Amino acid sequence: MRVMVTGARGFIGRHLLARLEADTAVTEIHGVHSPAGGALPPTTRTTWHSLDLTAPGAAETLIAAARPTHLIHAAWITAHNDYWESPANLRWLATSCDLLQAFLAAGGTRFVQIGTAAEYDWSHGYMTEGVTPERPSTLYGVAKKSFHDVLQTAAAKAGCSAATGRVFFGYGPFENAGRIIPYACRQLAAGQPAAFSSGAAWRDFLYIDDLADAAIALLRSSLEGVVNLSSGDPVRLAEIVTRLGEISGRPELIQLGARPDRAGDPPMLVGDSTRIRSTGWRPTHDLASGLASTYRWWASARN
């Protein structure tokens, strides 16, 4: 099995590589990253490809050189907050189509797209594959959903197995520093107040090691179509940040209600995890251990 991971330096991608490197059934690992960015994760078996995947002809050249049998496409625009309505989503939609076309032409056998919960209609709260309507409300969600549709149709015509793993709320080391959990950890580690809204909303959080394991389980399975990569367990945002305050030993720094709730913020976003659990995957970190590990990492990274 020759596996390629795009976005291999990113939050999800780097954790995928660690698991692939430990898998003796994987004969080749190809990690794709953009020339700009931070240090690469430490690897021993990965062949790195540094290129702008959005450049004309880049995808075709990459696939022709590596000829992967399996591909996890984790690259996309991810700048915090900017990605929701960025025109760059259109470029990544086109790039993803180019990558898929090259992969199919080279005889690839399994393509897994890292999708997003934003492909669903968020007014439904609890999201089940094939049941919850797919009505994304952002350009990011529309672009991801559009590529999912292209992927399923084109792969089926080419005889290639394909799935989209819809990620809910992954957290852990190397997450974007602007998100709620990294923000809380950094403020607490610095001894500074951490201001939040009421925290009344329910979300589905999954520790990054468990998320990466779920994505690899999906890659190795025969599941096709949409598969939620989620815990299936709702937790209030207030509980998340309160627990982090307790873990840090500075619970008084957590300021719930210091900011207004965002208008239109969905009260609940939770993914049904039945399909991914059918592979045998189970999360190995509960909320307490995941948050503790995450806080330690961010506190250490600060130093």
For the chain, list the domains and their CATH numbers.
2-169+206-229 (3.40.50.720), 177-204+234-267+285-302 (3.90.25.10)
Contacting residues for 242 by C-beta, under 8 A, at least 6 apart: 199, 251, 254, 256
- pLDDT greater than 70 at residue 303: no
Question: What pLDDT does residue 20 have?
Answer: 97
pLDDT tier at 142, thresholds 50, 70, 90: very high
Question: What pLDDT does residue 282 have?
Answer: 98
Model pLDDT for residues 225-260, shown as the tens digit of each residue: 999 999 999 999 999 999 999 999 999 999 999 999
Question: What pLDDT does residue 78 have?
Answer: 80
Model pLDDT for residues 185-216, shown as the tens digit of each residue: 999 999 999 999 999 999 999 999 999 999 99
- pLDDT greater than 90 at residue 36: no
Mean pLDDT of the chain: 97
88-96 average pLDDT score: 98
Q: Which residue type sits at 63?
A: I
Question: What pLDDT does residue 294 have?
Answer: 99
Q: Which residue type sits at 254?
A: I
How many C-beta neighbours within 10 Å does residue 68 have?
24
84-100 average pLDDT score: 97
Model pLDDT for residues 63-84, shown as the tens digit of each residue: 999 999 999 999 999 876 789 9
3-state SS track over the chain: CEEEEECCCCCCHHHHHHHHHCCCCCCEEEEEECCCCCCCCCCCCEEEEECCCCCCCHHHHHHHHHCCCEEEECCCCCCCCHHHCCCHHHHHHHHHHHHHHHHHHCCCCEEEEEEEHHHCCHHHCEECCCCCCCCCCCHHHHHHHHHHHHHHHHHHHHCCEEEEEEECEEECCCCCCCCHHHHHHHHHHCCCCEECCCCCCEEEEEEHHHHHHHHHHHHHCCCCEEEEECCCCEEEHHHHHHHHHHHHCCHHHEECCCCCCCCCCCCEEEECCHHHHCCCCCCCCCHHHHHHHHHHHHHHHHC
50-58 average pLDDT score: 97
